[in-house]
Amino acid sequence: MPAARADEADGEWRMPARDYASTRFSPLAEITAANVRQLKEAWSFTTGVQAGHEAAPIFAGGLLYVVTPYPNHVFALDTAGKQRWKYDPKPQPSSQGVACCDVVNRGAVYDGGRLYFNTLDGNSIALDARTGKELWRTKLGKIELGETITMAPLVVKGKVLVGNSGAELGVRGWLVALDAKTGKPLWRAYSTGPDKEVLIGAGFKPFYGAERGQDLGVKSWPPEAWKIGGGTVWGWISYDPQLNLIYYGTGNPGPWNPEQRPGDNKWTAGLFARDVDTGQARWFYQFSPHDLHDYDAINENVLVDLPIGGATRKLLVRPERNGYVYVIDRASGEVISATPFVHITTSTGVDLKSGRLQYNPKTQPKPGRVVRDICPASPGAKDWQPAAWSPRTGLLYIPHQNLCQDAGTYETSYIAGTPYVGAEVRMKPGPGGHRGEFSAWDPVAAQKRWSVKENFPVWSGALATAGGVVFYGTMDGVFKALDANSGEVLWSFRTSSGIIGQPVSYRGADGKQYIAVLSGVGGWAGTIVSGEIDARDGSAALGFVNAMRDLPKYTVKGGMLHVFALP
Amino acid sequence: MRKITLAPLFGLVMLAGCEREQRQFEIPPAQAQFAKPLHAANERNAYALSQGKTLFKWFNCAGCHSNGGGGMGPALMDDHWRYGNNAEDIYASIMEGRPNGMPSFRGKLNEDQAWQLVAYVRSMSGWARQDAAPGRDDSMYPGKPENMRDQRN
């Protein structure tokens, strides 16, 4: 297994996923299933920002770093919670109007004494982590075209990897590698268009036939449609140092209305493996060819080596928006298994011969008609909220939704800087009536081991620890610790606002293990609270409001960092 | 005799020819002089309101403001207005844009269309006449239609 760069005993948390394999597993074991009931809040810190706080706190060099949603303030705090410095990047206010799903930011990354993060208005910035002094700033996106940046960058071999957001506004997706020293772009790989711009060359060896051919990023679209075709890169990147490959997914094609873009719409809603030095694509796999329901494929890719079929294989485990947990050979791109982890009506399975998702024609959108009971709904079985992997239990802990929807599609026109969607959606709870779930998944047996039902979608990240405890938060503001083996809730704490952030764990200056998480409800699911949406209109916030009408009765907005430790 | 009667006429022609060309150094706000009555008429006019409703979808207003509940942009069916709910304020929001993300639609909509939109936007929170506001929806919005949201009395 590709371990973290630092040694296992390291008490730091330098990137949102903690390591290149994206495990979100802390090797610290002071907090255990036996003593977690005594966990107390050590201190808290108010960010002063009201939008949804999706970021992971970063701990490195004795300081804790937090980046807020727009206006993207960065705070450095010492281990007692005292502010060391604050940085204000002053992003353009108009960027708020082109962020599809709240003005979130998913975190910063620490590397070599520097802190790297992105702003909503499309800048990538490097700071001196000690002083907060700006070292470079590179403008990457055009908000006039609807381009924003919400993702957390990843730093690999002196390159800062950054992707854009905005597929709901007809933005053309890309991933760019910047020189970590200077901020200068080294290569840029688009998600649509000619091979030359997608960085597809002689080294491109996809496993399945559907991905082979010249300029599929042009030919699998109506003329010119690839230029406004989405496939933005707003999620997670993993890296395998042995194979020297990065793995990341591409977002939904634009517009949502599939009638306007016949074809497979390469290279949207799929997974790229690329050589990190050159950006050249090695393989691609499309989870949702010709996506019908806004099934972005930007979720986390957990890199693990596991025994499958008698031999240990280099795998990529991926809980996907379309409702399946994929186990993929990360060297070749072969899908080994794809198993449903939620109720699915949009497809009947994945054909392992062709790799192709088998759509159910009954839930295919048709213009001028309302198609009912589309499961999972547009945010998918699981959206951006990252799962955690514990090598101790061999389980993947998946925070996710249980939502279905009714949808109608209509023809929409492209007006630069405005939404390019063409669909009206009304979401509702899935079977059972609960809207969220936290599931422990065994990727070898390809089955769910246990799960906890939640009233609201579980929109926070997950954290696994060597102490046999896993953590997540709920949208009504309860932070929970569970027994990693049984799923029993061992401890909970009520925070000031709903939790959609990513919990982390670190070792403080006093040698103790700390757990940190941001509260501050919002995001697509919580925008009814953070964006003050009128609950009478169920189609509001791209249809999510219909499923979240009661959230304002449970929580208020406002960001706060909570830090916990044993007494 | 003939010469005498023609002289003043000739003088008049010459005078008219001397009149200086008028130059407008200040551009008045678009149709300001009749914007108000035009708008007041729109709010009583079922055709103008339904055109406004059509444009609301065609120009992607609905993409951000949904069917009035909001999303990427603020809700329009409630009683909270960041930039005011006078017809002129809404007209300015549409045509000039606003700094927190509302784009300018000048050059995309003509002025008549913009005023139709203004009337429809006001009808979303019940500020148009009930017997003129739209009474049904082609969308999946299940709540009260615009003509049931009267706020004027």
CA A493 to centroid of chain Cα atoms: 25
pLDDT at residue A6 above 50?
no
The amino acid that residue A133 corresponds to is: K
Q: How far apart are CA A141 and CA A163, in angstroms?
A: 9
Q: How far apart are CA A292 and CA A358, in angstroms?
A: 12
Please name the residue of chain B whose CA is at the shortest distance from the CA of residue A525: B71
Minimum mean pLDDT among A59-68, A142-151, A374-383, B3-12: which range? B3-12
Q: Is A95 helix (H, G, I), strand (E, B) or coil?
A: helix
* Residue B143, pLDDT score: 82
Chain B residues within an 8 Å CB radius of A410: 57
Q: DSSP for B30-97? A: TTHHHHHHHHHHHTT-HHHHHHHHHHHHHTTHHHHHTTTT-SSS--SSSS--SS--SHHHHHHHHHH-
Query: Can you tell me the ipTM of this complex?
Result: 0.93
* Residue B12, pLDDT score: 66
* Residue B30, pLDDT score: 55
Count how many residues are written for chain B. 153
pLDDT in tens, B76-116: 999 999 999 999 999 999 999 999 999 999 999 999 999 99
Does A408 sit within 8 Å of B60, measured CB to CB?
Answer: no
Q: Collect all residues with Cβ–Cβ distance below 8 Å to A172 and sequence separation of at least 6.
A: A190, A191, A192, A193, A226, A227, A228, A229, A230, A231, A232
Tell me the two tokens of residue A97.
């109007």
CA A19 to centroid of chain Cα atoms: 15
B81 touches chain A (CB under 8 A): no
Residue B151: pLDDT band with limits 50, 70, 90: confident
- In the numeric block, the tokens 């620890």 are attached to A465
CB A16 within 8 A of CB A55: yes
pLDDT at residue B37 above 80?
no
Task: Give percent of chain A above pLDDT 90.
Answer: 97
φ/ψ region of A81 (left if φ > 0, alpha if ψ in -120 to 50, else beta) reads left
Mutant choice from A169, A527, A533, A534 vs B, greatest count of B C-beta within 10 A: A534
**Least CB–CB distance from A97: residue in B68, B100, B141:** B100
In DSSP terms, which residues pair with A359 in a beta bridge?
A347
Does B70 sit within 8 Å of A533, measured CB to CB?
Answer: yes
Tell me the two tokens of residue A355.
């790799």
Q: How far apart are CA A31 and CA A24, in angstroms?
A: 16
Strands A447-454 and A335-340: unpaired
Buried b (16+ CB within 10 A) or exposed e, A504-524: bbbbbeeebbbbbbbbbbbbb
Residue B63: pLDDT band with limits 50, 70, 90: very high
CB A467 within 8 A of CB A21: no
Q: Collect all residues with Cβ–Cβ distance below 8 Å to A567 and sequence separation of at least 6.
A: A38, A40
Tell me the two tokens of residue B92.
């300015």
Residue B20: pLDDT band with limits 50, 70, 90: low
**Least CB–CB distance from B71: residue in A413, A417, A541:** A541
Mean pLDDT of chain B: 85
pLDDT in tens, A285-319: 999 999 999 999 999 999 999 999 889 999 999 99
Residues of A engaging B, defined by a Cβ cutoff of 8 Å: 93-101, 168, 370, 406, 408, 410, 412-413, 415, 417-421, 424, 426, 527, 531-542, 545
C-alpha R_g of chain A? 21
Does A415 sit within 8 Å of B108, measured CB to CB?
Answer: yes
Does A540 sit within 8 Å of B75, measured CB to CB?
Answer: yes
CB A330 within 8 A of CB A284: no
* Residue A112, CA atoms < 13 Å, CB-side half-sphere: 10
pLDDT in tens, A384-398: 999 999 999 999 999
pLDDT at residue B152 above 90?
no
pLDDT at residue B40 above 80?
yes
pLDDT at residue B44 above 80?
yes
Number of Cβ within 10 Å of residue A72's Cβ equals: 26
In DSSP terms, which residues pair with A430 in a beta bridge?
none
CB B76 within 8 A of CB B62: no
Q: Is A178 helix (H, G, I), strand (E, B) or coil?
A: strand
pLDDT in tens, A260-274: 999 999 999 999 999
* Residue B17, pLDDT score: 62
pLDDT in tens, B115-146: 999 999 999 999 999 899 999 887 887 788 89
Does B73 sit within 8 Å of A541, measured CB to CB?
Answer: no
Cβ contacts below 8 Å, chain A against chain B, sum to 112
Task: Give percent of chain B above pLDDT 90.
Answer: 60
Does A536 sit within 8 Å of B143, measured CB to CB?
Answer: yes
Tell me the two tokens of residue A513.
């293990």
Give all domains of chain B, ordered by start, each with its CATH number. 31-135+143-148 (1.10.760.10)
Q: Collect all residues with Cβ–Cβ distance below 8 Å to B53 and sequence separation of at least 6.
A: B120, B134, B146
φ/ψ region of A349 (left if φ > 0, alpha if ψ in -120 to 50, else beta) reads left
pLDDT in tens, A97-106: 999 999 999 9
Taking CA atoms, A419 is separated from A273, A476, B63, in Å, by 30, 29, 5
Mutant choice from A418, A529, A546 vs B, greatest count of B C-beta within 10 A: A418
pLDDT at residue A40 above 90?
yes
* Residue B77, CA atoms < 13 Å, CB-side half-sphere: 26
Does B139 sit within 8 Å of A408, measured CB to CB?
Answer: yes
Taking CA atoms, A241 is separated from A60, A114, A274, A328, in Å, by 22, 21, 12, 17
pLDDT in tens, A312-365: 999 999 999 999 999 999 999 999 999 999 999 999 999 999 999 999 999 999
Q: DSSP for A44-92? A: EEE----S---PBPEEETTEEEEE-STTT-EEEE-TTS-EEEEE-----
Q: How far apart are CA A82 and CA A62, in angstroms?
A: 12
CB A403 within 8 A of CB A542: no
Give, in words, the CATH class of A25-565: mainly beta
Break chain A into its structural domains and give their ranges: 25-565
Taking CA atoms, A2 is separated from A32, A303, A315, A320, in Å, by 25, 7, 11, 22
Q: Collect all residues with Cβ–Cβ distance below 8 Å to A330 and sequence separation of at least 6.
A: A240, A243, A245, A247, A273, A301, A303, A314, A315, A316
Minimum mean pLDDT among A45-49, A423-427, B2-6: which range? B2-6
Residue A256 has φ and ψ, to the nearest 5°, of -60, -40
* Residue B138, pLDDT score: 77
Chain A residues within an 8 Å CB radius of B102: 97
B71 touches chain A (CB under 8 A): yes
* Residue A362, CA atoms < 13 Å, CB-side half-sphere: 9
CB A439 within 8 A of CB A398: yes
Count how many residues are written for chain A. 567
Residue B19: pLDDT band with limits 50, 70, 90: low
CB A371 within 8 A of CB A363: yes
pLDDT at residue B21 above 70?
no
* Residue B34, pLDDT score: 59
How far B109 CA lies from chain A's nearest CA (Å)? 12
Q: What is the mean pLDDT of residues A473-489?
A: 98
Residue A1: pLDDT band with limits 50, 70, 90: very low
Tell me the two tokens of residue B72.
């990427």
Mean pLDDT of chain A: 96
CB A516 within 8 A of CB A565: no
